[in-house]
Amino acid sequence: MLRILVCISLMLSAPVWALSEITAVIDKNPVLTNESFVLEIIADDDLNRNAIDTTILLRDFVVGQTNISRSTRIINGKTKRSTTWTTLLMCRMPGTYTIPAFSAKGVSSSPIQLQVAKHSDQTDRPRDIFFRNQLVTKQVYLNQTGVLDTKLYLAVQLERGSLSDPEAEGISFKQMGEDQDKIEILNGRRYRVITRKYAITPTQTGTITLRPPMFSGTVVTGQPRGFFDNAQTKPVQVVADDLTIDVLAKPEAASEPFIPAQYITLDESFDLPAGGITVGEPVTRKIVVTATGIDQSVLPPLAVQYPKSLNIYPDKPEITTSYQGNSVITEYVDTAAIIATAPGVIELPAVTIDYWDTRYHQMTQATLPARTITVVAGSDEPAPAQLTPIPVTVEPTEAPTNPFYQWLSYGLLLLWLLTLAGWWLHARSLRQRAPKVVDDKPSTQPDPSELSCWRRLEQAVAQQSSAAVNQALPLWLQQLAHCQSLQQLSPSDSQQAAVAAYQQVLALTYAKQLGSDEARQNAFTELEAALQAVRRHQQQQSKQVDPLTLYR
């Protein structure tokens, strides 16, 4: 019985917690547009996170992050519990707003009337945090790159914060370099200024609304109360007014592809030797395209034409974008290894880019002029002989005037023509009766000059030396078929296979292709087999015998 009485007394003496009051307060009233303020909702009980619904605020305010805290205090044996919702709010438009009442378990807070004023530079009350945004160019063409300059002014100590990227439908944004941090004095007040620039490239035409970046962070509002306490802080959120930009469509006078830029330049870097390039030796040509006011995603590939007498092995283009002040500069580098196949004088055509000049609103052309290069024979390759004509003086002779000699000349000429016709008929009959004989036996005595050049070429291939192959191949072809390159041989299966194998060897050497040692070895093996097939084919064609020689 005593136990029952003790339990009942303990139950009666235990405190009973029940929600009795909900209070809603804001840290300032009135407020300015695009300036954040803090709403606190305090309930004198331990409630769940979702006990207070704040989604109704989205109708009139920009709602930031909501933090929830709980506290328990015991004073003179009495326990008090509370739950606090802290929400960051902001208004974009001036006017009078009502923060509604919040309810939980039948208890409600009182509504709050809020005055929101439009901020301007003439506003009496200075702001602790604000933006200044500027579009460097308020009117751009489709795919033209503009610049958004964003400055964040801070007159309070910043504990931490973040800056979001701007947003707009039909515009791509890229941050231009690193943020700049400096100090400015405005109206006698010291501000920390953080500057960030964005390259903006529109992908659709018309008037586009651009929402600038938003700052969210925590600022210090007071000193710590004790040695072990942290400084007093509060959350802040700031955004600026929206901006508009006009995007113009492609003009009718513009050509395709449409390249809107302030200006474009073409430069060239060519490691040409003083005496000209040598057959079989590679040289590097680098063409640099510099475009201002355009992003690298809009600049098309460079079209460069080369004569057929040059073998071209291009590298992958290098495209970079840099920023200088309010300028967006794109650099396109086209690099290629060039190998000449025959000596002579070669003209490289001009390289041109047609673009729309956004400064003067007209079509303009950037040009790299044509140039002439001299190709000389290798050190071991015989240069083509220069034939000097020898002047011949013909003394006039007096024609015979005797008619007898004239008739005698006519008779001898007629007799010679009859003899020639009889010889031709006789040879024709022999050709029809004689069997076609082809000597299929291999040549027992190859040409010493061709053989020595072939041995040299075989050695270069065995050593897997591209430079040695480039030197020996034209010499061997000159002795074998009186030409300078494989492309000049008569078309055949062996000729096509040799050209393909030779191109593969050069590509692995000069085009900076990633290839293993095994791939390089296989390429030279295929080249050796293809060259042997070409040699057999050429020798077989030269060994066919004319049947008339059997009767001479």
From first to last of its 552 residues, what are the pLDDT tens digits of the chain?
A: 556 554 555 444 444 457 888 999 998 888 888 888 889 999 988 888 888 888 888 888 888 878 888 888 888 878 888 899 989 898 888 999 999 999 888 888 999 999 998 876 555 567 888 999 999 989 999 999 999 999 999 999 888 889 999 999 999 999 998 999 999 999 889 999 999 999 999 999 999 999 999 998 888 887 666 655 667 788 888 888 899 999 999 999 999 999 999 999 999 998 888 878 888 888 999 999 999 999 988 888 998 999 988 999 999 999 999 998 889 999 999 999 999 888 899 999 999 999 999 999 999 999 999 999 999 886 654 444 443 444 444 344 444 455 666 777 777 787 778 887 877 776 776 666 544 444 444 444 455 688 888 888 888 888 888 878 888 888 888 888 888 788 888 888 888 888 888 888 887 776 655 556 788 888 889 888 988 898 888 888 776 644 444 444
Which secondary-structure segment (H or E) carries 454? helix 448-462
The span from the CA of 367 to the CA of 95, in Å, is: 59
Task: Tell me which amino acid residue 261 is.
Answer: A
The answer, yes or no, to whether the previous bond of 257 is cis (omega within 30 of 0) is yes
Q: How far is CA 165 from CA 108, 240, 294, in A?
A: 39, 13, 20
Q: Give the model's pLDDT for residue 16.
A: 46
The span from the CA of 479 to the CA of 458, in Å, is: 15
Query: β-strand 327-340 against 283-292: which pairing, if any?
Result: antiparallel
The span from the CA of 372 to the CA of 370, in Å, is: 7
Number of other residues whose CB lies within 10 A of the CB of residue 150:
22
Number of other residues whose CB lies within 10 A of the CB of residue 519:
12
What residues contact 437, with CB distance under 8 A and at least 6 apart?
545, 547, 550
Query: β-strand 31-32 against 112-117: which pairing, if any?
Result: parallel
Q: Give the model's pLDDT for residue 402.
A: 59
The span from the CA of 407 to the CA of 413, in Å, is: 10
